[in-house]
Chains A and B, each alone.
Chain A
Amino acid sequence: MTNSLNQLTLKQALNKIDSNEISINEVYQDLEKEISVNNSSLNIYLNIDKKAGKDASQAKNKPLKGLPIAVKDNFCTTNLPTTASSKNLETFIPPQESTVTKKIKEAGGVVFGKTNLDAWAHGSSTETSAFGRTLNPRNKNHLPGGSSGGSAAAVASDLAIVSIGSETAGSIRQPSAWCGVVGLKPTYGRVSRFGVVSMASSTDSPGPIAKTVEDATIVFNHIAGHDPRDATSSQNQVPDLTKFLNQDISGMKIGVLYLDIPGLEKIKTIYESQIKVLEDLGARVEFVKALNPRYAISVYTVVQRAEVSSNLARYDGIRYGLDRSHFGDEAKRRIMLGTYTLSKGYADKYYNLAQKVRTLFIDDFNKLFEKYDVLVSPTSPGYAKKVGATEGEAMFGELEDMLLEPSSIAGLPGISVPCYRDPSTNLYLGLNIVAPMFREDLMVKVADAFEKNTSWNSWRSHE
């Protein structure tokens, strides 16, 4: 049984507030106490709104009941600075709210703290933040992953009940895998990008990072949906994902990807044994060949740098923030590479070629989904890397996110759930489950069944 209320899952907290077993003020007291003890060593929160919880009890009749939600610091919030972990935006307080945080507030959630990320969300380690790296709460000698490393570490350390991240190619799922939590990346266009510091506009997707699959579905339900302020957001009807929990997965067809890729030898047998759990639950599992994800690294690198170069052109220090001399090394590298690949004579050679190969990945997935309901693979090629691992590695993130980039450039939804814990290091591996466009329901069915039939979820194991 849990002692401190910040250790509750979102679902447990909602139920206990509903039945008056606990008060919302007690939740804030416990959370603030925990943050005062552990935040400085882990470096998770950049800014906390100490007044945010004061009126939380007034939201008791709303769906999220005044509960605190941690938000990655690239979502514009009018109650807290929005830095994107960059020096340029250190003192920027947005005059308007992102759609995601607006929806959270309308549903009775409280945005009480902003979490660390790789500066401008450029990275997979949280090591490139202008405000210092975040550490992995499971093992402080290791990185939390990124770019939503602060949001994943917040959940893993119980410094948040649930959090919001954003993913361009791995930035929700990879840190979730490294920190042993659940990360749900919705279909591109399912959740509004309005008010999110833009990175790669053709793949950016906000989504929840949570203790359980159920918690992720609850948050998804509140943030998804069409937004007139994001022209790329979809008008498709949003399913109630909580309806796909506790389902029988027997007969579902599951394709297993990427286990034969060089570099995965050490973790291959672990994945084979964990995927067997799905087979034991009645799913029809087959190992399948897909287009080599190495090419997705190249596609993503070209497209992302090009979009970064264009999106970060706005930071001139005139209307807000500091001027362009304050960009960190990673942002400089990415902006300039994008400038180069978009420049006269190179756009066809790089950018247009990358967009064509992107089509090949989409076609490849379409073909696979004719035969399979979902596709599963490791989330990351290995465990969380050691602190300092990004030093001098211009392609660090791309290699760590290799197995996620194909589905990201195709805009597909995916979810990472903990699927192993190494007893000697306390570090986790994640199982990545990918579904066809707008079929988050299918991946949730499989993820929830896996979570409930294994012992890797560290919150479910004390239920």
Chain B
Amino acid sequence: MSNKINQSIVKHIAKLAQIPISDDESEKLTTAFLETLAVIDELQEIDTSTTEPTHQVTGLKNVLRDDVVIEEQMFLQKEALSNAKHTHQGFFVVPKILEK
């Protein structure tokens, strides 16, 4: 499967990950992908037909908290906006995604 990786797949993945890349970069990334996939393909050698996956190593499950406001964990509006590059009247400014 990994031998099917090519520059056009890499460019598609970059789009999915919202990472702008140049043609030169897509070539280098293709090489790096092939190198990495060659290593992880070794997993196919192992018989896991009777093995369950592990997602959480300490066995915790469905950790919930009471649905209450904890004031000391809240941000003031000023704090929440303090690192934003673009704000407008107390809001974050986001890129436009819809055209008229």
Contact = CB atoms under 8 A, between A and B. Distances in A.
A234 B58 contact: yes
Contact of A395 (B39, B41, B85): B39
A298 B42 contact: yes
Given A95-B80, A319-B84, A332-B25, A352 B16 contact: no
Contacts of B51: 356-357, 359-360
A355 interface: yes
Contacts of A202: 55-57
| Most chain B CB inside 10 Å of its own CB: which residue of A203, A309, A340 | A340
B18 to A, nearest CB: 5
A231 interface: yes
A337 B33 contact: yes
A327 interface: yes
Contacts of A356: 48, 51-54
Contacts of B39: 297-298, 301, 395, 398
Contacts of A335: 17, 19
Interface residues of B, number: 49
A32 to B, nearest CB: 29
A294 B41 CA distance: 12
A234 B14 CA distance: 37
Contacts of B52: 356, 359
Contact of B43 (A93, A187, A354, A409): A354
B12 to A, nearest CB: 9
B29 A232 contact: no
B42 to A, nearest CB: 5
Nearest to A92: B83
A295 interface: yes
| Most chain A CB inside 10 Å of its own CB: which residue of B9, B40, B80, B84 | B40
Chain A interface residue number, banded: 35 or more
Nearest to B18: A324
Given A95-B82, A320-B84, A359-B52, A189 B60 contact: yes
A444 to B, nearest CB: 20
Interface string A272-304: 000000000000000000000011011101100
Interface in B1-44: 1, 9-10, 13-14, 16-21, 25, 28-29, 32-33, 35-36, 39-44
B53 to A, nearest CB: 3
A340 B13 contact: yes
A350 interface: yes
A358 interface: yes
B58 A188 contact: yes
B13 A336 contact: yes
Contact of A350 (B40, B57, B75, B84): B40
A353 B33 contact: no
Nearest to B1: A349
B36 to A, nearest CB: 6
Interface in A337-396: 337, 339-341, 343, 349-350, 352-360, 362, 394-395
Contacts of A93: 82-83
B65 interface: yes
Contacts of A339: 13, 16-17
Given A189-B58, A228-B65, A231-B63, A295 B46 contact: yes
A354 B19 CA distance: 25
A316 B95 CA distance: 10
A446 interface: no
Given A232-B63, A319-B92, A394-B35, A299 B80 contact: no
16 contacts: A95-B79, A188-B57, A231-B60, A295-B46, A299-B43, A302-B43, A309-B17, A319-B84, A320-B83, A332-B21, A339-B17, A343-B16, A353-B43, A353-B44, A357-B43, A394-B36
10 nearest CB pairs, A to B: A411-B57, A320-B83, A355-B53, A356-B48, A95-B79, A231-B63, A394-B32, A339-B17, A298-B40, A356-B51
